[in-house]
Chain A
Amino acid sequence: MSKSRGYAGQILEVNLSNRDSKRNELATKFCREYLGGIGFNAKLISDEVPAGIDALSPENILVFGVGTMVGSIFPTASRTEVSAKSPLTGLFGTSNSGMFFGTQLKNAGFDALVIKGRAEKPVYLFIEDGELSVQDASRLWGKDSWETLDILRKQYPAAEVALIGPAGENLVRFACIENGYYDAWARTGLGAVMGSKNLKAIVVRGTQGITPHSVEGLLKVTGKARQLIESSPFFKPFKSYGSMNAAMPYGSFKALNANNFSQGCLPDWKEDFARPKVEELTHGHIACQSCIIACAHWVEIKAGKYQGLRMKDMEVTPTVSFGSGCGMSLEATVKAAEMGQRYGMDMASVAGVMAMAIELFNRGIISQEDVGYDLSFGDDDAILRLMDDIARRQGLGAVLAEGTMRAAQQFAGGEASAMHVKGLEIPMIDPRGRWSTWSLGILTNIRGGDHLRCRNPIENLRFNENKHDFQKERFGYDRKMYESLDMPDELKAQAIDLENDTVDIAIMSRWAEDLINLFNSVGVCIRPPVEHRIGPTILAEAYTAFTGIKISPIELMQSAERAWNLIKLFNLREGELPEDSKFPRRFYEEAVGGKNLDEAKVQEVLQQYYQVRGWDMLTGQPGEEKLRELGLSNLS
């Protein structure tokens, strides 16, 4: 057993090309500066991925970074970040997932797993209590992820498995890495990276345990954190209905991705996806490791065309992406989610690229001959068929498997229908319908057009007015809510104006991004009840109790900011340009629900955001001073 506290103490590095492996001891300095999870990944990838490589070449490096608090008893500490250079965006690719993989990897003795090179033939890794073996995966290659899991779970009954489905094998650029049956490191095409390495699965079994620095301290802070989360007004709604809570308010705001961002909200959305209808399909809740919320639903379809389908589902992103983005029926979104899981594809991206295809079909740019069948929004069968084609790279599917950005370039005028930022398909929310910290985050996200790395911790879903030129969003709560937010007083006063009842979007975005990056470093979930109540103060207490490394809340936030800046630098090195931080033209030019974005004003907020970050106002390049402050000056 490792002598280190909290951390397992080692990083396991495997080179699939020559099957070499080594174990690198964690240094305390490295831990303090990068914490774990995305922090480790950012540092390892920045240091070791050569500039300008093809993301699907053996030079790319895939890193599984387990969050620091994972395996402790801290509420919701279950998350593992997986990163590599993204084949979809060409930038830093990264994705976060929970369940039990991280716990097992840490209990097996490793805080991170680094995968390099490319195996000659399909292989899978088996990691058990400090031991690693590379196994032949020929019999698994070609099987969908559920079939593969059935086989591996039989062989390794108590293990956790990260694996790819056929989409990953076929190098679909938005293929994901499945985390067990129903979860995934979905975004930015990490499954294709795994596929390019001929790596089908990673099986992990760990029984070694993790020794906390202070048991008493850990239990105390855990109790405190739990009380805080449970007292958040977001707690009860999330416990009962999970992330689907956002679906209806955003529908009312006409702020949903509907039919490829053409409408704001489908006419029948409110009836077809009403809570009672959804709850008719859901039966009970499912939690990740140590979660007190259990936001996920167990879904069983008991009648109709998809009768007998049962799985964990009804997470808002896939449901909205398929249901609203492509106009599918509620039951069909479950079927699509099943296919997404089996094939191993990022559902937000596949829904995005399919919505584009349907729109191009409607615009007459793609014909029935190209596809082999007719496409239209809401045609469940055609959409599921297209999904199948994409995973297998058949017909038009081969083009769409390249992702929205690349596929659009294949069609004259395609760009106008391509709803992505920096190559990553925008899921779910439409910034035109509701401009907020959350919407700006889609633009500033270091992984591209995605909504999960920046969300106002006290977002108020009751309000949707924008009287403030895109600068502010409505606060809408009382003083108690203000005080409950764990944020340095001075910064809080700058970010939230109680008198005018507003939140400054630029300042809050930077805070929210760093906070979420902190969560993704220490492995805590970003669900609103947690993001609302858990801040650097309590995380610093938890981190110190668990690892024995003394750290202040400010240092903790700085470590998260360091990783964010490091990733930004990586993106700039890989060719990200200032003009890439733009929404699709449609958001500025076409209105939904009578609203569109004012390009100049959005640009202004973006510049304010850069300024708050200490980056160059025009280029978004991290400034000298900021880099010095973060100890990154040798990298600019």
Chain B
Amino acid sequence: MKNIVIIGNGAAANSAAETIRKHDLEVPIVMVARENLPEYSACALPDCLSGWVDRSQLFIKQLTDYPQMGIQTRFGLEIKQIDTRERILISDQETIAYDQLILATGSRAIIPPVPGRDLLGNFVVKTVGDIDAILAYKARKVVVVGSGNIGIEVAEALQISGCQVTIVELMEAILPRIFDQEPAGRISRILSDRGIQVLTGERVLKISGDQRVETVTTDCRSIACDTVIWAAGVKQNVEVASAAGVKLGELGGIEVNSRMQTNIDGIYACGDCIESIDMLTGYPTLSLLWPNAKRQGQIAALNCLGQEMAYEGAVSLVAEDIYGITAVSMGLISRALAREEIRVLEGQDNELYWRVLVMDDRIIGMQTIGMSYGLGAVMALMKNRTPLSEFHRVAADPDLARRVAWYLPAQRFLQE
């Protein structure tokens, strides 16, 4: 019987495996992954550093769950080569034959080529292994390089567990890919209020120390520390695939069509390693988000099984908990858009700061700080591409509004 092999054991891989099994109880599934661990939530890793989430809580599956679902696992195995003609995967230990292959190889954290990056005390936060290493190291004074969501969460987690923390961000504001400057500034103030030093517009030049990290030198200053956490971005794990002739896109991820098919017959790809289409702009994007990975896994699986199903496109939804204050970014941010075309609806009450970006009479992004009702409704309006004029027409008429009652909570964010 033909089999399906999945490389990877993250959100996309597991979602694909589960979807296949849900629709086909027979087909053999093999999952291959470098780490010998059951599926865990990468998003919760920083929470594990602070102890808010227990290490055991990270795991979504047990190793025994896989055989129970009829999935063979080859964990702890690194695929070195894909022979697309023979349809086999080659590792140092064994070769695995496949009929259809789903690449869900994910991404890895990168450390830029800065002198001293090999010293003891340099870490990234991408896997459970990284967390174990950091916890074992017992950091005191930490410099976090980069301020994406992982950087911010790690900084907070380490500050809570008693470390002195400095964030160094190359761009003018923190969270540069997720928030506009105004909300980013507000988040930055929350962090500084708790004693985290936030340095923006600074470049890390070198790390120095005798075997262990002792100083981080930026273009503005030297910071004494014992630990550097690199949260300066990730790189798609595409080398093996690329070497096998799988085509990459302009952004460096695996290129797939809307059915998650690569250029090579029988090979699908999903998750962090691919370039997907942004639902709102229609342009390729590297979405590194859990919900998108899960959805892409489903799409790849269904198409693998011969059910034609097209991906709606990726949409960004990031929720950050910053010292108990929720910061949310959905859709696009100003930097990703042509400024002259967007209208900004901004407001604040005692629960929430909000900033809605509108383009062509449609919501294209929203950022909030605080927690409130009605955000899910805005998300839905954005995904549905509902024209704002239409929204207002319906919401203004009590009889119509009752019928689409979920419009109502969104009203206050969308007033001109």
Q: How far is the CA of A112 from the CA of B372 in the complex (A)?
A: 28
Q: Is A416 interfacial (CB 8 A cutoff)?
A: no
A500 within 8 A of B: no
Interface SS, B side: loop
Most buried by A among B350, B351, B372: B350
Interface of B with A (CB < 8 Å)? Answer: 349-351, 372, 412
User: Residues of A contacting B349 with CB < 8 Å?
Assistant: 154-157
Q: Is A158 among interface residues, defined by CB-CB distance under 8 A?
A: yes
**Distance (Å) between the CB of B400 and the closest chain A CB?**
16
Bound Cα distance A154, B349 (Å):
6
In angstroms, Cα B351 to Cα A159, docked, is 11
Q: Closest CB-CB distance, A37 to chain B, in whole Å? A: 28
**1/0 contact trace for A138-181 toward B, CB 8 Å?**
00000000000000001111110000000000000000000000
Of chain A, the residue at the smallest CB distance from B372 is A157
Name the CB-closest residue of A to B350. Answer: A156
**Within 8 Å CB of A155, what residues of B?**
349-350
| Cα separation A207 to B350 with both chains bound (whole Å) | 14
**In the assembly, what is the distance between CA of A156 and CA of B350, in Å?**
5
Chain A: which residue is nearest B409 at the CB level?
Answer: A157
Task: Provide the residues of chain B in CB contact with A156, threshold 8 Å.
Answer: 349-350
A128-B350, A205-B350 known, 9 other contacts, Cβ within 8 Å: A126-B350, A154-B412, A156-B349, A156-B350, A157-B350, A157-B351, A157-B372, A157-B412, A159-B350
On A, residues with C-beta under 8 Å from B are 126, 128, 154-159, 205
Chain B residues in 8 Å Cβ range of A128: 350
Q: How far is the CA of A581 from the CA of B372 in the complex (A)?
A: 54
Residues of B within 8 A of A154 (CB): 349, 412
Interchain CA distance A8-B372 in the complex, whole Å: 25
A158 touching B412 by the CB < 8 A rule? no
Bound complex: CA A128 to CA B349 (Å): 14
| 16 intermolecular pairs with C-beta atoms under 8 Å apart | A126-B350, A128-B350, A154-B349, A154-B412, A155-B349, A155-B350, A156-B349, A156-B350, A157-B349, A157-B350, A157-B351, A157-B372, A157-B412, A158-B351, A159-B350, A205-B350
Closest Cβ neighbor of A203 among chain B residues: B350
Task: Give every chain B residue within 8 A of A205 (Cβ-Cβ).
Answer: 350
B372: A residues at CB distance < 8 A: 157
Q: Which residues of chain B are near A158, meaning CB under 8 Å?
A: 351
Distance of A156 Cα from B372 Cα, bound (Å): 11
User: CA of A157 to CA of B372 in the docked complex: distance in angstroms?
Assistant: 9
- Residues of A contacting B351 with CB < 8 Å? 157-158
Residue of A nearest to B352 (CB): A157
Which residues of chain B are near A159, meaning CB under 8 Å? 350
Interface centre among A128, A155, A205 (most CB of B within 10 A): A155
A310 to B, closest residue via Cβ: B398
Which of A154, A156, A157, A205 has the most chain B CB atoms closer than 10 A to its own CB?
Answer: A157
Instruction: Give the chain A neighbours of B412 by CB distance below 8 A.
Output: 154, 157
- Kindly list the 10 A-B residue pairs having the minimum CB-CB distance in the complex, ordered from nearest: A155-B349, A156-B350, A157-B349, A155-B350, A154-B349, A156-B349, A157-B351, A157-B412, A157-B372, A158-B351
How near does chain A come to B411, taking the closest CB pair, in angstroms?
A: 11
Complex: how many Å from CA A337 to CA B367? Answer: 41
Which chain B residue has the least Cβ–Cβ distance from A156? B350
Q: Tell me which residues across on chain B come within 8 A of A157, comparing CB atoms.
A: 349-351, 372, 412
Residue ID in chain A nearest B351 by CB atoms: A157
Determine the residue in chain A with the shortest Cβ distance to B348.
A155
A459 to B351, CA, bound (A): 48
- CA–CA, A575 and B310, complex, Å: 84
Bound-state CA distance A147–B350 (Å) is: 18
CA distance A154 to B348 in the complex (A): 8
Complex Cα spacing A126 to B350, Å: 11
Specify the chain B residue showing the minimal Cβ separation from A158: B351
A389–B131 Cα gap in the complex (Å)? 72
A473 to B119, CA, bound (A): 98
Query: In the assembly, what is the distance between CA of A205 and CA of B372, in Å?
Result: 14
**Set of chain A residues within 8 Å of B350, measured between Cβ atoms:** 126, 128, 155-157, 159, 205
Question: A126, A128, A154: which has the most chain B beta carbons within 10 Å?
Answer: A154
Instruction: Determine how close the nearest CB of chain B comes to the CB of A308; give it in whole angstroms.
Output: 13
A154 to B372: give the CA distance in the assembly, Å.
13
Interface centre among B351, B372, B412 (most CB of A within 10 A): B351
A128 to B351, CA, bound (A): 11
In angstroms, Cα B157 to Cα A465, docked, is: 79
CA distance A158 to B370 in the complex (A): 14
* A126 neighbours in B (Cβ, 8 Å): 350
**Distance between Cα atoms of A594 and B236 in the complex (Å):** 96
Q: How far is the CA of A157 from the CA of B412 in the complex (A)?
A: 9
Q: How far is the CA of A155 from the CA of B412 in the complex (A)?
A: 11
Once the chains are docked, how many angstroms separate the CA of A155 from the CA of B370?
A: 13
A126 to B351, CA, bound (A): 13
Distance of A134 from chain B, by nearest CB (Å)? 15
Closest B-chain residue to A128, C-beta based? B350
Q: What residue of chain B has the Cβ atom nearest to residue A155's Cβ?
A: B349
Give the docked Cα–Cα distance between A126 and B349 (Å). Answer: 13
- Give A155 to B349 CA distance when docked, in angstroms: 4
CB distance from B414 to the nearest CB of A (A): 14
